[in-house]
Amino acid sequence: MGVVGGLQYIVYLVFLLVIFGLAVWALVDAAVRPAGAFVSAGKRTKNFWLAILVAATVLSFLTCPPLYLLPIFLALLSAVAAIVYLVDVRPAVAPYTRRRGPRGPSGPSRGGW
């Protein structure tokens, strides 16, 4: 393997690992959101998104080196699923997710006079 081949392998490896990380991030985020938040936001159910993101995570894992069990276009489909969740569903569901810590007038001051 020459210098160019080695560089291509590194770029390919980083690309696939980023896709895998993106899928894992989306899966963990969907798992911690309450099921009612998805319905309140007008999105598909939590179970639907968990199934899609589990499949995306598994597919992206199986395309990573040294496995190479599946073609790269399946990793690209995994990236699409994770990106759709992170860009569309996650922001819509976020306002309906309970946040931890004090809120309202009794909560800690965030500045001001």
Give every CB contact of residue 105 below 8 A, 6+ residues apart in sequence: none
Specify the pLDDT at position 110. 61
Can you give the pLDDT at residue 56? 97
For residues 78, 82, 87 and 88, what is the CA-based torsion angle, rounded to 10 degrees?
A: 90
Averaged pLDDT in 10-residue chunks for the chain of 113 residues? 86 93 98 96 97 97 86 93 98 86 53 61
Please, which residues have CB within 8 angstroms of residue 71's CB and are 6 or more apart in sequence?
63
Kindly report whether the peptide bond that precedes residue 66 is cis, defined as omega within 30 degrees of 0.
yes
| Every domain of the chain and the residues it spans | 20-95
pLDDT of 5 reads: 84
pLDDT (0 to 100) of residue 102:
53
Q: What pLDDT does 109 receive?
A: 54
